Amino acid sequence: MNYLAHLYFSDSNPLAWSGSLMGDFVKGAVPVTFPQELSRHLKLHRHIDTLTQRSEIFQTSRRRLDPRFRYARSVLVDVFYDHFLACRWDEYSDQPLAEFSQDVYRGLQFCYDLLSPGLQQQLPRMIEYDWLTAYRQPEIIHRVLQRLEERLKHKIPVASGFSQLELWREELESDFTAFMAEAQQVTTEWKQLN
């Protein structure tokens, strides 16, 4: 899952949001110096990532996409699922997406000194361009994929994967709905135990 989904499944507080996003930036053992709530949500992020690897629903979405995208098919599905979540946010939350996004940005700024360097670098752009709300717009999804391709040094044509969104939209969105139900159950169970 990408940023928005990780934030959706986290608890609603600044340390939780910070940990939920830092899962993409902090590798290996979780530093013992992190506040407990941040550590807990960093681990939740990893748990959700593990779910995507073993979920038959997620893997079905992955297999729908053209094999030429190889391992990047998982990245494409992550981004597409965030797009669907942004578009259908009102079905999943009583809080409007624009309001939720602003709360998250303020929370991340409040925890700025605890954020990993990579997330600290991204945060100003995330806020300026309102990434979380912008996921609703297909042209933003295309731009996200272009940036990912640049980060991969153009080894995989991720940006051209945007065509797969329109080609498989109906099927992928159906997968997304089923996956969200699965992820909600898994994260609820994990939170009860951790």
Cα–Cα separations (whole angstroms), residue 114 to 6, 44, 97, 118, 133: 18, 17, 25, 12, 24
The CA dihedral of 133, 136, 141, 143, to the nearest 10 degrees, is -60
pLDDT cut 90: percent of the chain above it = 85
What are the tens digits of pLDDT across the range 53-97?
999 999 999 999 999 998 889 999 999 999 999 999 999 999 999
pLDDT of residue 8: 97
Q: Any idea what the Cα angle at residue 42 is, between residues 174 and 142, rounded to 5°?
A: 45
Which of the residues in the chain have pLDDT under 70? 1
Q: Please answer whether residues 110 and 13 qualify as being in contact, where contact means their C-beta atoms are separated by less than 8 angstroms.
A: no
- Burial group, residue 63, by CB count within 10 angstroms (0-12, 13-18, 19+): exposed
Largest CA distance in the chain: 46
H/E element holding 76? helix 72-87
pLDDT of residue 36: 95
Q: Any idea what the Cα angle at residue 14 is, between residues 85 and 27, rounded to 5°?
A: 80
pLDDT of residue 1: 54
